[in-house]
Structure 1
Amino acid sequence: MLLLLKGAAAATVAWCLASWLLPVTVTAFAPFTALLALQSTVYRSLWDSAQYLGAMAIGTAVAAGFGTTVGVHVWTLAVLVFLAILVARADLLGGQRSQVPVVALFAFVGGGGRIEYIGHLVTSAVIGVCCGLAAHLVIAPSPHTDRARGRVADLSGRTRELLHDLARGAAGEIPVEDLGRDWPHRCEELAAQAARTRGELEQAWENTRLNPRRPWSSAQASLLRCHETVGTVERIGTYLRSIARALAYERQALASPGPAGSSAPVGSSGPTGSSEASASEDFLVSYGELLRDVASALECLDPPHGPEDPGRLRRHVEDAGRRYDEATDRARVSHLDRPRQWPVHGTVLVEAKRVLEEITYLADRAEETRH
């Protein structure tokens, strides 16, 4: 609402000044450029204004070159438009490059490329830019970070929920038919939410650049922690997707005895089938405890705010490390002879180690920030 009010005020003031100082043929450019200069952030407003003025300089120069030499004709208009569009293909002017042919056409067709008309046109645009920037600088947008921090905290919470559900799935507390259907979808949703959160963080970060309102340093430090958290969650989401696939395969194999699932029926009375099933069940239960400890460490970390009790966080990380060692030792001494059993167990252990390393890194960074 504040941006809308500033836009209306800037456009009105720009039109009044242009109507007072300039001919009526160019007054429309003042409110137009005022609205163009008034973007969501101070940095974006300054950058877009500079690019637009650059596009106007190029477009009016082309129009003046044709108008003062060969005059206004059908063929000169065609050549002028061709050259202006060719120049606009360059990336130097960013999003405002399309304004080059527009300004060239206005200056050439509306004023015949005359220097006097072009001078008035440029003056009208400068008035609009000044009014738009003045409105933005007088009441600059506050560099709030609460919304971004809330988004990151919600993203971290969904990651913890997924870790807990994976732990329940590893322990056999979730029906087998739900494993392969629900988990991949949730991992994709987590990645999409992380991408949206990163976009909001980038906009919030841009709002801190060249912003005359304080505090800069505290807002930027908070957003840096948010960026680190989102990057960590994105990587953790990739690891969890791999864990989900492997756990779903392993649970479905245990629930579907026979040649397709194992070298001997898992539910049979033979020693091979029963020992394989027992080894897998013991490993999965131990692995579920590991995931629960990892989720507890992430909850205690409380990103992006940081842990209130670093000692408690460190204990959770150490407990998760011990659980990982126990699961690794259990897999090492078990007789895992069923096809693909070692690759599955190795995959979930490697990915869990990566998740733990990511959380340990965030914990170390949080402690460094506190000191």
Structure 2
Amino acid sequence: MNGVTAAGQRTEAASQGRVSRARQWFRRAAGSGGHERHTMNLIFKSTLAAAVSWWIAHDLIGATSPAFAPFSAVLIMQVTVYRSLWQALRYVGAVSVGVVVQGALGFLAGPHLLTFVLVALVALALGRWRPLGSQGSQVATAAFFAFSTYVAAAGSAQRWSQLGQIIELVFIGCGIGVIVNMVVLPPMRYRSAEYGIHTLAHSLCDLVGDMYPALREGKLDEERTRQWRQRAVQLGPIAQQAQSSLHTAWESTFYNPRRLRRRHRPRTFSGYQAVVDALERVAYQVTSMTRSLDQWGGTDDASHAAAFTRAYGDFLASLAHISELLADIEEDHLRDQSQELCRAAAEAQQCRDQLEDDARESSLPLSDPGRPYGILMAEATRLMDEFQHTCDVLQHGVDQADTGDADSSSS
């Protein structure tokens, strides 16, 4: 009896947990512009496009297979207007090719099994045509549906009419889907560009933030440096995700009426692209630096190593500060943030110059390939150059935006 009661309590707790998570999901969808909101908008717009497409196909036209229209409308509902339009063109092309293949072979060979085999063979081959992209599989799908319609039709005139109607319904569904996506809450992914920068900069800040205290204290044990190296390898995929987020954000402006509200967006995106590119190069340099530290492990002359790692830790601390600032970047506060970044970059440059002066004064063997000093100094220079370039392109983007706003006001 107790076992049954306990099982019932666990079931009730699991049910309450699901209800709680569902409520949290809807609260996030209603209160923020994140993934949940985008998902909710996409579901709403897909439902609207499907309903309008069905009404036109079923009630106005009286089509024999009206489901083609809402299916097409939902299929091409994408995260950006540009992607919806591009996928609609590909889908219409794939369906048209499939219907034409079936029509030609069907009327030449008749409704036989051999004809279906030929239709499948040709349609599957044409589906690999590169211009059709991800919609290539729809060639065979359309051909199979067209063959079913062809077999069920009574005569040649009806067969031609119904095959033509399939293409008409696909045009209607795709057209409705693109219009709804463009007019009703057109998706804008500006924030995804910033989110990609935030994620990459946070990852860099976390890693470098763990490194510089240990370097200052000279604690370069093997376990610690190996963990740094493993974490640095993970920066590559994060940088690729940032590039993908930026591409989606930039793509969302194409054919989107909402882009007219803020004219300086293209300049902002060009600046963000330069930032992501620079941070990606920084990620590779950090990976190389952690590899050098892991191979070295601090096993060198104690006085030389302690002084060098302490100065190197100070330099990395200044880079961690820049990464922290980049992790909070927002377009609405970009002017003040860019100025703060420039000041942080100037401080980092002073730390790097001090590191170089200390290395020369202490007569470190910078040219000895068996020791890491020269390699780490070179990597410090590259890291500084990339962070300085990041700050410069942001400041340049702000200056361009100010110039564009001034020109617009004067005109």
SS state at 2:257 partner: coil
SS state at 2:258 partner: coil
AA partner of residue 395 (structure 2):
E
From 82, 85, 101, the equivalent of 2:121 is 82
* Residue 277 (structure 1) aligns with: 302
* Residue 348 (structure 1) aligns with: 376
Aligned-residue offset at 1:6 = 1.7
TM-score of the aligned structures, taking structure 2 as reference length? 0.76
AA partner of residue 64 (structure 1):
G
Residues 343-368 of structure 1 deviation map (CA, whole Å, 9 limit, x = unaligned):
41111111111110011112221222
Structure 1 window deviating more from structure 2 (138-147 vs 231-240): it is: 138-147
Distance in 1 (alpha carbons) for counterparts of 2:96 and 2:286: 53
SS state at 1:111 partner: helix
Structure 1 window deviating more from structure 2 (100-109 vs 189-198): it is: 189-198
Change (3 A) 1:312 1:56: closer
Q: How many residues align?
A: 350
Distance in 1 (alpha carbons) for counterparts of 2:192 and 2:317: 28
Distance in 1 (alpha carbons) for counterparts of 2:374 and 2:367: 13
User: Counterparts of 1:6-85 in structure 2 under 5 Å?
Assistant: 6-22=45-61, 25-85=64-124
AA partner of residue 284 (structure 1):
T
From 204, 218, 225, the equivalent of 1:180 is 225
Residues 31-83 of structure 1 deviation map (CA, whole Å, 9 limit, x = unaligned):
11111122222111111111111112211211221233232222222112111
Aligned-residue identity in percent: 29
Aligned-residue offset at 1:169 = 2.4
Structure 1 window deviating more from structure 2 (46-55 vs 128-137): it is: 128-137
Distance in 2 (alpha carbons) for counterparts of 1:319 and 1:308: 17
Q: Is the 8 A contact 1:140 1:213 kept in 2?
A: no
Q: Is the 8 A contact 1:229 1:304 kept in 2?
A: no
Distance in 2 (alpha carbons) for counterparts of 1:158 and 1:300: 13
* Residue 264 (structure 1) aligns with: none
Task: Find out whether 1:244 has 2:272 as its counterpart.
Answer: no
Q: Is the 8 A contact 2:199 2:238 kept in 1?
A: no
Change (3 A) 1:159 1:82: same
Change (3 A) 1:338 1:22: closer
Q: Which runs of 5+ in 2 are unaligned?
A: 1-39, 400-411
Task: Find out whether 1:234 has 2:290 as its counterpart.
Answer: no
Distance in 2 (alpha carbons) for counterparts of 1:312 and 1:239: 24
* Residue 326 (structure 1) aligns with: 354
Q: Which runs of 5+ in 1 are unaligned?
A: 255-275
TM-score of the aligned structures, taking structure 1 as reference length? 0.83
Aligned-residue offset at 1:89 = 1.2
AA partner of residue 238 (structure 1):
Y
Greater share of residues in helix: 2
SS state at 1:98 partner: helix
Q: Is the 8 A contact 1:246 1:348 kept in 2?
A: yes
From 196, 201, 221, the equivalent of 2:241 is 196
Change (3 A) 1:338 1:192: closer
Change (3 A) 1:76 1:23: farther
SS state at 2:210 partner: helix
What RMSD over aligned residues (CA atoms) do the two structures have, in Å?
2.8
Q: Is the 8 A contact 1:226 1:304 kept in 2?
A: no
Q: Is the 8 A contact 1:41 1:207 kept in 2?
A: yes
